[in-house]
Structure formats: structure tokens, C-alpha cells
Amino acid sequence: LSACSGCQHGLWNCSLEPCPVDGGLSTWGPWSPCSLSCGGLGLKTRNRACSHPAPAYGGRDCLGPRQESTYCQAMDCPVDGGWSRWSPWSRCDKRCGGGRSIRTRSCFSPPPKNGGRKCEGEKNQVKPCNTKPCEASCTWNIHTHTHRIECLSLMIKTRNRIPSIVIGCVSCQSLFFWLTVDGGWTPWSVWSDCPVTCGRGTQIRSRACINPPPRNNGTGCSGPERDAQGCHIPPCLGNTDYCRSITNPTLTLFFRPLM
């Protein structure tokens, strides 16, 4: 539209005014990062502007929301591992001569998860125990001139701890001695079933020399490994190869035909 006023020099003095421009919303921008980095539900937002086009010359402003939000699920937070308490010290693995005692702990208090750091430090600790040297005792039999050496574990190395006043006692220094283990029987098994259905049979039972088995030149078990006993079943009624039966609902008879 034009608004003209006055006429000068044969021309109208006119001014043109721009038309109003209504505002228009732009497209939505990208979503923002989740408000939580880990461990639960957060919020994220996105925006748009009244700039497509912007309102001008008295045009109307944009209609509609310029921001929207939605929930976002954040990943589980990393959990660093933590050590449990130390266990009690274990029993010494040797009675003498220097042994070891061990204690342990585990990385489960809490266990590492979701990319958390593992526990740092040692899982096991070892300390010496029973460091006193092992002793060997010797006895001497004057009549048979034999000696006996007793040691405290299956295999030990002893030092010069044998009394010098014991004449003829063998020195244990730098020698290894294994404990002798004699064999022992297991309990007898149950008797086997009688092998016959009539007449006289034989039942068997057995045992094994494994309770314990002999070791290190120990003596074997004495006595039999198998045992037998008779078993008595009602006597057979004739030779069944030459017998026939007559059966009725209440009675069964066996007999041998006349020869």
C-alpha cells in the first residue's frame, strides 16, 4: 500500500511500507546429552527457533513449543573392585624344618563390573612357620645290634641332633627317610548269592589290602583275600533231566518214571 501526500513539482510524495511477516519455526535441533552420565533415568532436550522466518513488520510470533524433553536411560556406573578381608592363616604344612602358612583374600567386596578397575595388590600372603629343625630319635638294641630311626613326617631332612652318648646310633644327617606303612585289610564284602537253586552250593566273599596299601617297604596283609562257605538250599527232587511234572491248581508233583 502507498500513502501519498502533497504534490510537489507535479509529483505525488508517496512512501511504501513493507508488509507484515509472520514468524516460522525452524526444524528441531539435535538432542542434548543425557543429564546423567550413568546410573539411572535422566533427561535430554532439543530446541527449535522462530527464525524460519523471524517475525517482522508487525507479523505474528511463532506458534508451538520451542523446546521438548524426553527421558534417557544412562548406562550403569562403573564399579571398582574391592578386596575382602584376609582369611585366617592356614595350618603350617610342615611340623618342623621350615614350613609355610598361607592366607588369601578375594576381589569380590565388591567385584569389579561395568568397566570398573580390578583390585590392586596381592591375592595371597605367605609366612614361614615351624622353622625349628626336625629331630630324629634313635634306639639301640644291644642283643640284636639293630637300630630304629623315627621321623616326624613322610620325608624329612634332619641335622646332627642325635645324642652323642648313644653308641652305635646311625646319624640322620643328609639322609632321607620314608615312613614305612604296613598294609591293612578292608572289611569283608557281603556274601555272594548262592549259585544253585537247589542242593548245596558255595558262597564267596572278598576283601582287599588297600586300607591302607603297603608303602615304602611295608609288609603286606596277612591272611586270605577270599573266603568261602557252603549254602544250603532245599534238596533237589530227583534229576530234572529225567523228571516230568503234573500240575493242578493246588498241587505240583515231581516223579521219576520206572526204569
Q: Do domains 2-74 and 182-259 have the same CATH topology?
A: yes
Query: What is the reported pLDDT for 234?
Result: 74
Residues 210 and 186: beta-carbon distance below 8 Å: yes
C-alpha 259/C-alpha 246 separation (Å) is 19
Dihedral, 158, 160, 161, 163 alpha carbons, nearest 10: 140
Fold classified for 2-74: TSP-1 type 1 repeat (2.20.100)
Query: What is the reported pLDDT for 24?
Result: 95
The stretch 25-49 carries a mean pLDDT of: 94
Residues 254 and 243: beta-carbon distance below 8 Å: yes
Query: What is the reported pLDDT for 4?
Result: 62
Would you list the domain boundaries of the chain? 2-74, 137-178, 182-259
Residue 80: partners with Cβ closer than 8 Å, 6 or more residues away: 112, 116, 117
**CATH of span 182-259:** 2.20.100.10
Query: What is the reported pLDDT for 258?
Result: 45
Whether pLDDT at 128 is above 90? yes
> How sure is the predictor about 136, in pLDDT bands with cuts at 50, 70 and 90?
low
Whether pLDDT at 170 is above 50? no
pTM reported for the whole predicted model: 0.37
The stretch 89-113 carries a mean pLDDT of: 91
The stretch 152-159 carries a mean pLDDT of: 37
Whether pLDDT at 51 is above 70? yes
Residues 161 and 186: beta-carbon distance below 8 Å: no
pLDDT above 90 covers a percentage of the chain that reads 39
The stretch 24-29 carries a mean pLDDT of: 95
